[in-house]
Amino acid sequence: MIKTGAQILWECLEQQGVTTVFGYPGGAILPAYDALKTSNIHHVLVRHEQGATHMADGYARASGRVGVAVATSGPGATNMVTGIATAMLDSSPIVCITGQVGSKLIGSDAFQETDITGVTLPITKHNYLVTHANQVAETISEAFYVASSGRPGPVLVDITKDAQQSTCDFDGRPITPRLPGYRPELAPTQAEYKEALELIHKAKRPVILAGHGIILSNAMQEVRTFAERNNIPVGLTLLGLGAFPASHPLSLGMMGMHGEAWLNTTIQEADLLIALGMRFDDRVTGNLKTYAPNAKKIHVEIDRAEINKNVKVDVALVGDLRSVLRELLPHVKSQDRHEWLNYIERLKGDSAVRDIQNLPDNGHLYAAHVINDLWRETLGSDTVIVTDVGQHQMWEAQYFKHEQPRTLITSGGLGTMGFALPAAIGVKAARPEAEVWAIVGDGGFQMTMCELATMVQENLKVNIAIINNGYLGMVRQWQEFFYDRNYEATPLLSPNFVKLADAFGIRSVAVTQRSQVVPTVEMTRKHPGPVLIDFQVEQEDSVYPMVAAGAALHEMIRRPNPLEETAADA
Identify the sign of the CA torsion 356, 358, 360, 361. positive
The interface region with other proteins, picked from 133-141, 174-182, 284-292, 356-364 by CB under 8 A, is 174-182
- Judge whether 142 counts as a catalytic residue: no
Among 84, 133, 146, 300, binds other proteins (CB under 8 A): 146
Tell whether omega for the bond before 330 is within 30 degrees of 0, i.e. cis. Answer: no
The interface region with other proteins, picked from 119-127, 209-217, 282-290, 456-464 by CB under 8 A, is 119-127
The sheet carrying 462-468 orders its strands as 408-409, 383-387, 435-441, 462-468, 531-536, 507-511
Q: Tell whether residue 202 is a contact of other proteins (CB under 8 A).
A: no
CB of 279 to other proteins, least distance (A): 13
Instruction: Look at residues 396, 414, 219, 421 and name the one whose alpha carbon lies nearest to residue 325.
Output: 219
- The site map against other proteins for 301-320 (x = CB under 8 A) is --xxx-xxx--x--xx-xx-
CB of 350 to other proteins, least distance (A): 41
- Judge whether 49 counts as a catalytic residue: yes
100, 113, 144, 161: the catalytic one is 161
The interface region with other proteins, picked from 116-124, 237-245, 249-257, 456-464 by CB under 8 A, is 116-124
- The site map against other proteins for 264-303 (x = CB under 8 A) is ---------------------------------------x
CB of 192 to other proteins, least distance (A): 6
Query: What values do phi and psi take at 466, rounded to 5?
Result: -85, 120
Tell how strand 556-557 and strand 546-547 pair up: antiparallel
- Judge whether 7 counts as a catalytic residue: no
Nearer to other proteins, 189 or 512 (CB): 189
CB of 73 to other proteins, least distance (A): 18
Nearer to other proteins, 320 or 541 (CB): 320
Angstrom distance (rounded) from CA 189 to CA 318:
9
What amino acid is encoded at 182 in this protein? Answer: Y
Nearer to other proteins, 180 or 363 (CB): 180
Q: How far is CA 222 from CA 61, 178, 214, 277, in A?
A: 20, 32, 9, 13
CB of 295 to other proteins, least distance (A): 17
Nearer to other proteins, 283 or 297 (CB): 297
CB of 135 to other proteins, least distance (A): 12
Q: What is the DSSP string of 471-513?
A: B-HHHHHHHHHHSTT--TT-B-----HHHHHHHTT-EEEEE-S
Q: Tell whether residue 118 is a contact of other proteins (CB under 8 A).
A: yes
Beta-bridge partner residues of 395: none
Angstrom distance (rounded) from CA 448 to CA 421:
7
Nearer to other proteins, 194 or 204 (CB): 194
- Judge whether 226 counts as a catalytic residue: no
Q: Are 70 and 59 in contact (CB under 8 A)?
A: no
88, 254, 278, 474: the catalytic one is 474
112, 165, 457, 516: the catalytic one is 112
CB of 221 to other proteins, least distance (A): 24
- Judge whether 37 counts as a catalytic residue: no
| Residues 179 to 198 in contact with other proteins, rule: CB under 8 A | 179-183, 186-189, 191-192, 195
Q: Are 414 and 86 in contact (CB under 8 A)?
A: yes
The interface region with other proteins, picked from 176-184, 275-283, 400-408, 492-500 by CB under 8 A, is 176-184
The interface region with other proteins, picked from 59-67, 118-126, 158-166, 276-284 by CB under 8 A, is 118-126
Angstrom distance (rounded) from CA 4 to CA 400:
50
Instruction: Look at residues 395, 408, 346 and name the one whose alpha carbon lies nearest to residue 545.
Output: 395
- Residue 392, Cβ density class (10 Å: 0-12 exposed, 13-18 middle, ≥19 buried): buried
Angstrom distance (rounded) from CA 177 to CA 158:
18
Secondary structure letter of residue 559 according to DSSP: P
For 417: left if phi > 0, alpha if psi spans -120 to 50, otherwise beta; the answer is beta
User: CB under 8 Å, gap of 24 or more: what pairs does 560-569 form?
Assistant: 561/354, 562/353, 562/354, 562/355, 562/356, 562/358, 562/359, 565/359, 566/359, 566/360, 566/362, 569/362, 569/364
49, 222, 451, 458: the catalytic one is 49
Q: Tell whether residue 138 is a contact of other proteins (CB under 8 A).
A: no
Q: Tell whether residue 349 is a contact of other proteins (CB under 8 A).
A: no
Site size toward other proteins, by CB under 8 A: 31
CB of 149 to other proteins, least distance (A): 11
CB of 541 to other proteins, least distance (A): 38
Q: Please give the positions annotated as active site.
A: 49, 111-112, 161, 474
Residues near other proteins (CB under 8 A): 117-118, 121-122, 125-126, 129, 146, 179-183, 186-189, 191-192, 195, 303-305, 307-309, 312, 315-316, 318-319
